[in-house]
Structure 1
């Protein structure tokens, strides 16, 4: 009996799987959903063996009704309303930049605690890429003064960052 039911189910799948899939694709435009719906319809046919013994027209009508109802149920589901699928995944993963933004805010806030002279040499050297000699000419001070300001500015910056919870 089981072998006969299996043979009938294979014949049912052979005869109707492709036309049912085309029907669902015409209804939804979604090939993946069409495969899932046809598979579910075949499972339902398997769990209702009386369908396998009906005449061909009644079996066909039952399968198309099941498929249509499955599509309607899918379209009414919360998953369909909230989820969107795409055929193509993004090419590359984008790194999360939120930590870098937070770090830059933290450093900018700590830089505000420095004196204008100290801030100018730190920003000029680290963000501007200028040498001690260039900073000395720009601020019209001796190179030793620039070095001294840099030393005390970095010390003050380290303390300001420690106060904000950044550990060394």
Structure 2
């Protein structure tokens, strides 16, 4: 394998620049030419006969493979379906209707919780307060806050499931 790496390195040194220039000439695209060179070298690495030859003797094989890769890409179904445009089309604007409906469902579900559970859930998830901060604000133990948060979220999940929310 180290022999193969050295031979591939010799192929790269001998032909990569000229194959790239050839591919740029054929495609008119520098990035596509880089891909062609990479694929050509990969195919050389997968072909023991080419790796065994002197790098100077493989020039025509490298050019032939590069040309075939460019032709195959030009004939590909992906290429035929792509449409190039001078300007990118306008981006779609996200409709806020789903967010409004989600907010209404959550508001209704929160209204169904007990006040103690609702206070903890709202402070933790909407106000971003930590367990310690909530415990201090409500003057209860941290364990109580954790318990209320657990049972409040469970009740909220059940209420949302009853309303048909599945995610």
TM-score, structure 1 length as denominator?
0.49
State TM-score, norm by structure 2. Answer: 0.50
The structure number with the bigger radius of gyration is 1
